Amino acid sequence: MLKKAAILDSDFIIKTSLTRNSKNENLSDIVLKLPYSFYCHEQNRAEVTDHEQFASTWLDKNIAAKIITCISDLQILQIIKDSYQISQNVAVKFYADWLKQACDVFTTSFYEKNYTDLEALRTKSEIISDEEFILAVQSGDTRIGHDNNLGEIKDTVLAIALTQCLQMKCINFCSDDKRARRSLLSFSVNESFPINSISYMGFYWVAKQKKLLNKEEATDYLSGWKKNCKPFETNATIKEHINRKQPDYPKRDIDNLFDAIWNDEVVMMNDGYLIYKTELSE
């Protein structure tokens, strides 16, 4: 049985950290009760730090306590080298291939346009130093920018490394935004690649199934979210025959979806989206 790794996206961390019940307890602590090994790419840690101080403090505390493992691009490179017993230069090619694979989900020119320095390292005959690798990756990251799905791209590279190198099953705790989720969705709909996705609303379904929360407790948390944060709609449920990679999912109101979760009217698909049971038979 594959060991389970949970990859925490910045959007998911911020939303669950800001979701506090009437006792001022945050939902993100309930997430950590799941029997997974928790990971966060350093890019998402940076994004959390930039956007929300409370969530940043929560994340830093759990990284310091070794409950969440923060992984850098250089550490991913080391995982590749150790797993395949290959040289630094070959490992850089693996990393570049996986990064291109993640970028191509957004646009096929994303990698070629932004990671020219990393691509140039492919042909280098001399040993590539750690510093050269880091600088090449960082130059591409800077061109993309933090608000252009960079965190989701790095989540995907981390997920590929954990599944391919460490033989782990990855669950991506991710954004409700369909464009931001596209990178992981391209893998989670492929049954040969063991990644599932769980969004903010999807976690309430998981918490019910795992008996982490009862309805009263969950309602208390959701009320706290609506009090502290602006309301949002969620790309939560879709008909089975709709291509999940397309940007035309019908949106559901969170209150209606929440009731459907606790009335056992929805199930979670492999890609993390919730779907009404009535739609499964259509």
How far apart, in whole angstroms, are the C-alpha atoms of residue 282 and residue 279? 5
Q: What is the pLDDT along the chain (282 residues), one digit of tens a residue?
A: 678 999 999 999 999 999 999 999 999 999 999 999 999 999 999 999 998 899 999 999 999 999 999 999 999 999 999 999 999 999 999 999 999 998 988 777 889 999 999 999 999 999 999 999 999 999 999 998 866 789 989 999 999 999 999 999 889 998 765 555 666 666 655 556 656 888 888 999 999 999 999 999 999 999 988 877 655 444 444 344 444 443 334 556 788 889 999 999 988 877 777 888 887 765
Decide: 245 and 186 in contact? Cβ < 8 Å: yes
Decide: 44 and 9 in contact? Cβ < 8 Å: yes
Which pairing describes strands 233-234 and 195-198: parallel, antiparallel, or unpaired? Answer: unpaired
Structure confidence at residue 244 (pLDDT): 43
Which pairing describes strands 233-234 and 252-253: parallel, antiparallel, or unpaired? Answer: antiparallel
Decide: 132 and 121 in contact? Cβ < 8 Å: yes
* Residue 171, helix vs strand vs coil: strand
Q: Which of 71, 154, 146 is nearest to 105 (CA)?
A: 154
3-state secondary structure 219-231: HHHHHHHHHHCCC
How far apart, in whole angstroms, are the C-alpha atoms of residue 188 and residue 207? 20
Decide: 244 and 162 in contact? Cβ < 8 Å: no
* Residue 200, helix vs strand vs coil: helix
- Measuring CA to CA, how many Å separate 6 from each of 140, 145, 169? 26, 25, 9
Structure confidence at residue 199 (pLDDT): 86
Phi first, then psi: what are they for 33, rounded to 5°?
Answer: -80, -10
How far apart, in whole angstroms, are the C-alpha atoms of residue 32 and residue 58? 12
- Eight-state DSSP code of residue 149: S
Beta strand spans in 31-116 (E): 37-41, 68-71
Q: What is the pTM assigned to this prediction?
A: 0.88
List the alpha helices (DSSP H) in 32-177: 42-51, 53-64, 73-84, 88-104, 110-114, 116-120, 130-144, 150-164
Terminal-to-terminal C-alpha distance of the chain: 33
Structure confidence at residue 186 (pLDDT): 63
Structure confidence at residue 226 (pLDDT): 81
Locate 71 and state its tokens. 């992984």
Structure confidence at residue 275 (pLDDT): 83
* Residue 109, helix vs strand vs coil: coil
